[in-house]
Amino acid sequence: MSEKDIIIMRDGLKLAAKVSIPNTEKYDVVILAYGFIGMMDPKVNDLLPVLLQKKGLATIRFDFNGHGLSDGMLDNMSIFNELEDYQAIMNYALQLEGRDHLYLIGHSQGGVVSSMMAGYYNDLVDKLVIMSPAAALVDDAKIGTCMGVDYDPNNVPEKLDFKDFQLNGWYFRTAKFINVYETAKVFHGPVLALHSENDKIVNPYASRHFEAVLDNCEYHLVPESDHGLHQNRAEVYDRVVNFLTK
């Protein structure tokens, strides 16, 4: 089983994706979504698609608009248009002939949109994995801070400057009104929530909140790990693979 590069269209934008389908009549499909300015060549999920493929699962990973190999401008990113990207990927996955179960995996901001997609598609998604989900972005937008950069939430700038990129004010104006937990809790299937113990970007409370509002959520704190879960990664892999294949 090998990956192939494909293009999935969304409102005239070309979204780059990598797809791996096993040579079996039926198979479970896993969609992997990455975080804030993350790409398909990730820091967290680098071996995860390979490990899932070895277990006979199909995998779809992709770049959101403005990221990596996909069309669009990074500074036009918003939670709303990432949800639209995700919908296009979902439509592709749902049309696969051999699809049996559908699983979603998301890290950081990818965890936020994955949890929301599980809510929107609660009748079609079977399992959800969220890793250091950045649900705190809502409260951060309300007080005016993002990744260590502060701004006035009552006078949102047209663009916010980060070290290597800019982000449009629309991202921050809309982020404060995103109903992450209210949307996610409509999903009643099994959920695995993993959070990094030494996360300096998203407090583990975000995952604990998911555990509280979801009625079938298994929560684990990964010891000595940072937001990217770079430490004790073997535990992350084991927990995710076992959760999706049990």
Task: Please compute the mean of the pLDDT values over residues 69-77 and round it to a whole number.
Answer: 93
Quote the pLDDT of residue 163.
Answer: 87
Residue 220 CA, chain-centre distance (Å), reads: 18
pLDDT in tens, 147-198: 999 999 999 999 999 988 999 999 999 999 999 999 999 999 999 999 999 9
Neighbours of 90 (CB within 10 A): 20
148's torsion region: left (phi>0), alpha (psi -120 to 50) or beta? Answer: left
Q: In this model, does residue 76 exceed pLDDT 80? A: yes
* Domain range summary for the chain, segments of one domain joined by +: 3-245
What is the model's pTM?
Answer: 0.96
First to last CA, the chain: 21
Quote the pLDDT of residue 40.
Answer: 80
Contact 70, 15 (CB under 8 A): yes
pLDDT in tens, 80-129: 999 999 999 999 999 999 999 999 999 999 999 999 999 999 999 999 99
Q: In this model, does residue 141 exceed pLDDT 60? A: yes
Quote the pLDDT of residue 90.
Answer: 98
What is the C-alpha separation between 6 and 17, in angstroms, rounded? 5
φ, ψ of residue 28 to 5 degrees: the values are -90, 145
The domain 3-245: what is its CATH number? Answer: 3.40.50.1820
Q: In this model, does residue 39 exceed pLDDT 90? A: no
pLDDT in tens, 40-66: 875 545 688 899 999 999 999 999 999
